[in-house]
Structure 1
Amino acid sequence: MKNKRFGLIGLSAPLCLGLTYMIMSAQRPEYSFLTKAVSELGSLDAPNKWYWNVFGYILPGVLISIFSIGLYQSMAQKTSSRLPLLGIFLSGFFMAISGIFPGDFEDRTSTTMILHTVGSFGSYIFFLIGAFTYPKLMRESNYWKSVILLSLTLTWLTIIFGAWPFVFTDMPGVGQRIVFSLYFLWIALHAFKLYNYQSVIK
């Protein structure tokens, strides 16, 4: 039952962000997914910015951090490295930080914009640390090793599509949304596997 609870918590993170994004972006006809950053839904001058920052960044970040504990416990042995746990946990933590400090896109040197940027980049960097170190733990489990290839594929794709804004400079927002989608697909994949873990091993 513990694994199911952690699995549901993990699955609720992408669901929360996805629904919030659809609702908030639909209310902004001038908001273009081609050119606008996702964070601009919660920027300092955005209408209803705290709805986005709370339900788009802070709450999903907290849910991911909680989920990371259950994911690690389902695989780790006493001597296991804690890098996978710390990576995904801090990824969620820094995502919440990026919501606590809304981006100021009119003044990119402002304190709130710097902290927002630290939160955004920190979330992604720690995700890479967690996502690239989990396969070592997965190889120790017959249940988890079946998802290694897909897990690493999603991780590498976030890096590949991270270069999108430098190649397609007229529509940088598309690349960011692809990376966001791949990140949350990684969370959803592992959360789904965790949810089913107990029933499979019985």
Structure 2
Amino acid sequence: MKNKGFGLLGLFAPILFGVAYLLMASQRPEYSFLTKAISELGSVDAPNKWYWNVFGYILPGVLISIFSIGLYKSMAQRPSSRLPLTGIFFSGLFMAISGIFPGDFDDRTSTTMILHSIGSFGCYLFFLMGAFTYPKLMRESKYWKAAIVPSLTLVWLTVVFGSWPFVFTEMPGLGQRIVFLLYFLWIAINAFKLYNYKPINK
């Protein structure tokens, strides 16, 4: 697959997630984006849970994992650390895992809830690993240097807004949505650059 193909897959992931979220949330009048977790759209007792888990988590996660391969290949022109590739690849994989195992918010000690939580936290932790290590690889390419500042800005903002639920306890859901938005913006910005990738002499 060429860079444009990998780039399109990366761009499609946030679009798919966003459309699935808007459609599924609109069918739940009682669902509040201020207080409810995004995962509750696909919880064990949610109506049409598999629509959300497949189109909101599993497919976007798989697309991100595939996109990560092309992103890494476009920068790693010589032997280098695989932490950036590993981080984003497993971030997508763990997102898919969180969709395979719906959350049980009435029994947080259940096996499916534990596996769902592992998927959710794993997705974010691997993202941090990949997003914080990519700048070193980006510095080796004239084309990718321009992506360093926006990429690092977005990842640091996810850390800042990750503390939202502990500060604004009455509306924890809003903070989670901001973190998801920043996460997918990171994917989209780098996917767009990959789509338009043109090698520049180093």
Fold match, TM over 0.5? yes
2:179 aligned with 1:179, yes or no?
yes
State the Cα RMSD in Å. 1.1
> CA separation in 2, counterparts of 1:164 and 1:156?
14
- What residue in structure 2 maps to residue 118 of structure 1? 118
Identity of aligned residues (%): 79
Which residue number in structure 2 is paired with residue 38 of structure 1? 38
Q: Which amino acid aligns with 1:136?
A: K
Mapped partners of 2:89, 2:147: distance in 1:
20
What does 1:1-20 align with in structure 2 at a 5 Å threshold?
2-20=2-20
Q: 1 CA distance for matches of 2:105 and 2:78?
A: 46
User: Aligned AA for 1:100?
Assistant: I
Structure 2: distance between partners of 1:46 and 1:78: 48
Runs in 1 of length 4+ with deviation above 3 angstroms?
Answer: none
- Equivalent pair of 2:142/2:200 in contact (CA under 8 Å): no
Q: How does 1:1-202 map to 2 (within 5 A)?
A: 2-198=2-198, 201=200
Q: Distance in 1 between matches of 2:174 and 2:16?
A: 20
Q: 2:11 corresponds to which letter in structure 1?
A: L
The aligned amino acid for 1:160 is: V
Give the Cα–Cα distance (whole angstroms) in 1 for the partners of residues 92 and 62 of structure 2: 6
- What residue ranges of structure 2 are gaps of 5+ in the alignment? none
Please report how far the alpha carbon of residue 79 of structure 1 lies from its aligned counterpart in structure 2 after TM superposition.
1.6
Aligned length in residues: 201
For residue 121 of structure 2, what is the amino acid of its counterpart?
A: F
> TM-score by structure 2 length?
0.98
Aligned to 2:109, what secondary structure does the other structure show? coil
Amino acid at match of 1:29: P
Amino acid at match of 1:121: F
- Specify the code of the residue in structure 2 equivalent to 1:108: R
1:147, distance to aligned residue in structure 2 (A): 1.2
1:140-185 CA-partner distances (Å, limit 9, x unpaired): 0111001101100000000000000000000000000000000000
SS at structure 2 position matched to 1:77: coil
In structure 1, stretches of 5+ residues that fail to align are none
Q: Distance in 1 between matches of 2:200 and 2:192?
A: 15
Q: Structure 2: how far apart are the matches of 1:81 and 1:4?
A: 24
User: Does structure 1 retain, via aligned residues, the 8 Å contact 2:83–2:129?
Assistant: yes
How far, CA to CA, are the matches of 1:68 and 1:80 in structure 2?
15
Is the CA contact (8 Å cut-off) linking 2:141 and 2:200 kept in structure 1? no
Give the distance between the partners of 1:150 and 1:66, measured in 2 at CA.
22
SS of 1:78's partner is: coil
Shift of residue 201 of structure 1?
4.6
